Amino acid sequence: MTSPLSLLNDKRVRDWIYQIALVVFLVALAVFFVRNASENMVKAGIASGFGFLWRTSGIEVPFVLTGYTQADNILGLFWVGVANTMLVSVIAVVLSTLLGFVIGVARLSSHWLLSAIAGAYIEFVRNIPLLFFVLFWYFGVIAALPQPRQSLSVFGVAFLNNRGLTIPLPDGLESLRVAGLLILACLVGYIAFALWGRRRQERTGRHAPTLRVGLVLLVAVPLLALTWAVLATRWDVPALRGFNYRGGFVVIPEFVALLAALVTYTAGFIAEIVRGGIQSVSHGQTEAGAALGLRPGQILRLVTIPQALRVMIPPMTNQYLNVLKNSSFGAAIAYPDLVSLFMGSALNNTGQAIEIIAMTLAVYLVIGLAVSALMNWYNARIALVTR
């Protein structure tokens, strides 16, 4: 029969005991803080619980994507904040990645002036606080735009001024929905063709016309579908009435300023990641591509970038998470994101700080973990060494 003392000599048993003891301690500590906070809230007469989410909000929001109105409850206000945060974050991730790639490649250009400009931009961005960019775009650029009566016209249907960008709004979505489904089908078809072409090349060594098929499915067909959808849809075109434009949809200046700040700021960091990833690829790989007769652009696209991605993806994940978290800087210019609406307006109206802060943190945590899981999955797919 094994004695307790002999079990304690087993390292695995001791490790389990230490871990269980740590978990019990953390749970007890959390229970202590929760009970202490609850007792203090009761003594102070502060309400607790999540029943406040079903109260009428009464808060007006200038930028709404969810159909929210002042008559809706606070839970509806919460979803407006989540939608606005996700909108600016997703667009900023896409645009900053594209801009960062361009600047990173330009940093390695043999053209001295182009490389110097890219290097100066990177060093400037990485040594300036993000809040400066937010305030610069809002007060230095957007505020300097003309008044509505002197708006900058875009083909006579969209108008840019210091109150935002007013764009046409479709009266119906049927044609646009059909075009969207067609574009989605083309995307799925191209992915399936690319996978088939890769397997075919691995079996036979014969190249599939992936580029030409991509131009048709990803460029030509979507352009034709969107053109047809735009022409087949009735649009509510904004018109100047009095001192402002009426009709259409207004992209508020706070959104434009925050998006521009996130893109220009994050692109500087992504550019350095791109530069480091490209330089991590052995020079022998580029020489081998040149020996095969590939042009410099083909070497970069087919040889360098695919190998550099294995180095670039982990730090890029950090930058994407930073974009999500940095979107909270929109509160400095009153952009109606999750922090401004929920932790600002809703907190002031209800006073239930613990619940509101917990829900806000939970949203950022869940979205951040989802982004990390997606990027880790993609990193594992392109890893040089599989386990």
The answer to whether the predicted template modeling score (pTM) of the entire model surpasses 0.95 is: no
Among residues 307, 330, 318, which one has the least CA distance to residue 384? 307
Q: What are phi and psi of 251, to 5 degrees?
A: -85, 105
CB-based contact 340:81 (threshold 8 Å): yes
> How far is 201 from 194, CA to CA, in rounded Å?
10
Q: Is 342 in contact with 356 (CB distance < 8 Å)?
A: yes
Question: How far is 235 from 157, CA to CA, in rounded Å?
Answer: 10
Instruction: Please state the φ and ψ torsions of residue 15, each to the nearest 5 degrees.
Output: -60, -40
**What three-state secondary structure class fits 29?**
helix
How many other C-beta atoms can be found within 10 angstroms of the C-beta atom of residue 201?
Answer: 13
Q: Residue 197's pLDDT is what?
A: 83
What are the phi and psi torsion angles at 56 (to 5°)? -65, 130
Q: How far are the Cα atoms of 17, 193, 238, 240, 244 from residue 144, in angstroms, in the given order?
A: 65, 49, 22, 20, 17
3-class SS of residue 177: helix
The answer to whether the CB of 60 falls within 8 A of the CB of 325 is no
Mean pLDDT by 10 residues, the chain (387 residues): 60 80 90 77 68 84 83 88 93 94 88 90 91 91 84 80 83 84 90 84 77 85 89 83 78 90 94 88 78 76 80 90 93 88 82 83 92 89 60
| CA-atom Rg of the chain in angstroms | 27
Rounded Cα distance between 290 and 120, Å, is: 30
- Report the SS3 class of residue 178: helix
For 144, counting Cβ atoms within 10 Å of its Cβ (0-12 exposed, 13-18 middle, 19+ buried), the class is exposed
Looking at residue 110, what is its pLDDT?
82
